[in-house]
Amino acid sequence: MFRKSMLMTALLGTFVNVYAAAPVKKAKKEVYVDVWQKIYGGKEDDIAYGIVALENGESAIVGTCKSYGAQRSDICITRMDANGEMKWRLWLGGKKKDEGKAIARTADGNIIVLGRTKSFSKAYAYDLYVAKVSLDGKKMWETTFGGDRDEYAGGIAGTDDGGMLVVGATESYGDGDKDIYIAKLSKNGKLLNAHTMGGKKDDVATALTRTRDGKMVMVGYREVARAGDSDFLIMQLDQNGKMRWRKQFGGDYEDMLNGVTPTIDNGIVAIGSTRSYGSSQSDLTVMKIDAKGKTIWHKIYGFKYYEYGNAVATTADGGFMLVGGTNTLGKGNHSLYALALNRQGELIWSHVFGGERKDVGHGVARMSDKSMIIVGETESFRLAKDFYIIKLKKQ
């Protein structure tokens, strides 16, 4: 811990403004404009995967970091103020590979993170990792669970009793190659119950959200036939992880969901990618599902090559901000892709961000000041991958 604390001073100086040029005059007014774009990282790869809003326009970000004294890779948590300046950063992990995936808040307002770890695994495989962190950057507790094979982190959400629900996938338990893994933890990190769901092929949970009425909704995919043929999977759970309903659908090729957010009417909007429905390669797909599992709308956005969605959040006006990647648009070989939809799922704005190499959006959240912050990764501005953070404001 002392070694990592000593490196904090060096890290605080790594924020870089992505651009300083005057904005180009545009004929059409943009719906969203970027307030700022920033990157930070070190000589090795540092990638942001998730973000959660705090008070006063601040946020907390979880990622996987290899720089600044990480022993191989560590789970890293960053608290950022409304201007994009870092207040603190915390490393979690051990001497082997540790990866951050998702972040949320508990009933008492503190931060919970989900990832996976080899450092604390009894076997040479990944176990699931959960930690609770205070708002001033102190680790309150950490716990791991898993079997003899690899576990995969999906999503995490706080429950009314101060505990949390975790979803992901497991190779250690169940009947298939990968099965959905659902676990309930107490407020102190004790594993209260866990179970698997799935068939003979891959069943994977990739994200989890809590709806306004206290239900949990998990999204992911289910392999239904040959490799490369999967269906969208959406499941509503209670706060103990018991299934209330399940929805599965898709086309002839690969369809998967990667992100989910609650809506004001107790439903959800889910985002992912599809190679079905007439897609040339891969298209970004987004859908609204009501509280009973009925599809309200399903939209597909894509071009000649590959587009996909990783995360979605509601905007202040009740619409939706989508983030992911594209290798059709932009000046590089792979750009961060952001889209804004209205409540009906109609496109009102889209933009690509990044430079001449690979840039991807992995997470997005609405801040208390009504702005949107996107987090992800960029290779365009330095030799290694860095955190890529963009703050957007509606005009």
Whether the predicted pLDDT of 266 surpasses 70? yes
Q: How many Cα atoms within 13 Å fall on the side-chain side of residue 53?
A: 18
Say which amino acid occupies 274.
T
Torsion region of 331: left, alpha or beta (phi above 0 gives left; psi -120 to 50 gives alpha): alpha
The pLDDT-based confidence of 5 (bands split at 50, 70, 90) is: very low
| Predicted confidence (pLDDT) per residue in 336-351, tens digit | 999 999 999 999 999 9
| Predicted confidence (pLDDT) per residue in 8-31, tens digit | 323 333 444 443 333 333 445 689
- pLDDT for the residue 329: 87
The pLDDT-based confidence of 227 (bands split at 50, 70, 90) is: low
- pLDDT for the residue 226: 65
Write down all domains in the chain, each with its CATH number in brackets.
45-165+189-200 (2.40.128), 202-395 (2.120.10.30)
| Predicted confidence (pLDDT) per residue in 142-182, tens digit | 999 999 999 999 999 999 999 999 999 999 998 878 999 99
The tokens describing 100, both together, are 């951050």
Whether the predicted pLDDT of 296 surpasses 90? yes
- pLDDT for the residue 383: 86
Count the neighbouring beta carbons within 10 Å of the beta carbon of residue 186: 14
pTM: 0.92
CA 382/CA 239 separation, integer angstroms: 43
User: What is the average pLDDT value for the chain, to the nearest integer?
Assistant: 91
| Residue with tokens 């995969």, as numbered in its chain | 152
Give the mean pLDDT of 78-94.
96
Whether the predicted pLDDT of 211 surpasses 80? yes
